[in-house]
Amino acid sequence: MKRLFCLICAMAILAAGFCTGCNSSVTKTEATNKGDAVHHELKTFVYSDFYREIYDEDTEETFRAYCEAVIKGETEFICKSSDFRIVTRLKMLASEYMPIAFAYANVTNIDSDNVAHIDYGMSTDEFLTKLKAFDDKVIQILDETCKAGYSDAENAIAIYDYFARNFTYTTYTSSYVAIMEENGICQDFASAYDYLLGQAGIDACVCNSMLNKQFPHSWSLIRIDGKYYHADPTYALSNPGTIRYFGFTDERRSSMDNYEEFPFTYGFESFDDPEGKFRSQDDRFISLSDSTNYELDLNNGQIKYVSAGTGENKVFVIN
């Protein structure tokens, strides 16, 4: 009986362990130390408070229904509006927050009863195979970058660093291809970064401006601890030795590379934030603008780097 009782207790403990995190979007392994490996499960729906600010609830709920249909390979979903212009909005949102839907899940028409139809351009089995490969790739990136005990700032830096070490600037592709093949251009990288940040629970949206008033460029506006910061994964690629393009303010974005500070615009519909709700003015990461030869030590919440100005070895404390 004693042996049977022990066996029952062991089974109960295992069952409890398997249920841990069942209702959360990110499942973490039991970890006692910061930096331990974490296994992630994908969120089925990623969205930004930026779009909640500029769009109505019907847009969010329609995008949610679209995403939920796509992850099941379904060909119909309920659209909150019969206005076909919403399809353009769904496509734009998918670029940032559901990259595989942007690549393959085309809404062909909306019936009079607001049922929207999706064409994947392939069989359901073929699409679900691609979806599985995409999910696996995203989980691989998250597992490699976002470890146990990391803060939002540390996760955002870790994913930024992944771009710097692994991605290549080529030609326009899409956020889906950017993640799968690790190449593309600025708008691909910004959208891919936003999606990965969203999966890590960090709010982000695309930010845009003009270099020298003539060359458009896109990067990410991210929210950490309630404040907004700019992060440019494209410049991370071209400047792999420095982390100066993470966590900078509106003023630093403008002064470092001669971008027009006003108006920065946000999202692919170029919202210009007339009330300044998305202004980035906190200089928490300002000392990183002097960084070169940086090395992440996220388990200790630090970035070690050499000062570009003085050649001194320095340590930036993240939190």
Hey, what are 304's tokens? 């070690």
Using CA atoms, how far apart are residues 277 and 148, in angstroms rounded to an integer? 32
Q: How far apart are CA 112 and CA 78, in angstroms?
A: 11
- How much is the pLDDT for 274? 84
Chain segment 180-235, per-residue pLDDT in tens: 999 999 999 999 999 999 999 999 999 999 888 788 999 999 999 999 999 999 99
Q: Which domains does the chain have, with CATH numbers?
A: 49-126 (no CATH), 148-286 (3.10.620)
User: Tens of pLDDT along 249-266?
Assistant: 999 998 888 887 666 889
C-alpha pair distances (Å), 307 with each of 47, 162, 312: 37, 22, 5
pTM: 0.89
Asked if residues 139 and 40 have their Cβ atoms less than 8 Å apart, the reply is yes
